[in-house]
Amino acid sequence: MKINELRDGMKRVEVEAQVVEKGNPRQVMSRYKDEAYTVADAIVQDETGTIKLTLWNEQIDQVNQGDNIKVENGYITSFKAELQLNVGKYGKMTVNP
pTM: 0.91
Q: Where in the sequence is the domain holding 36, given as residue range(s)?
A: 3-96
Nearest Cα to Cα of residue 4 among 89, 74, 85, 71: 85
Q: Number of structural domains, the chain?
A: 1
Distance CA 79, CA 97 (A): 28
29: domain CATH number is 2.40.50.140
Q: What is the pLDDT along the chain (97 residues), one digit of tens a residue?
A: 999 999 999 999 999 999 999 999 999 998 888 899 999 999 999 999 999 999 999 999 999 999 999 999 999 999 899 999 999 889 999 998 7
Give me the pLDDT at residue 30, please: 85
b/e map of 64-94 (b: 16 or more CB within 10 Å)? eeebebebeebbbeeeeeebbbbbbeebebe
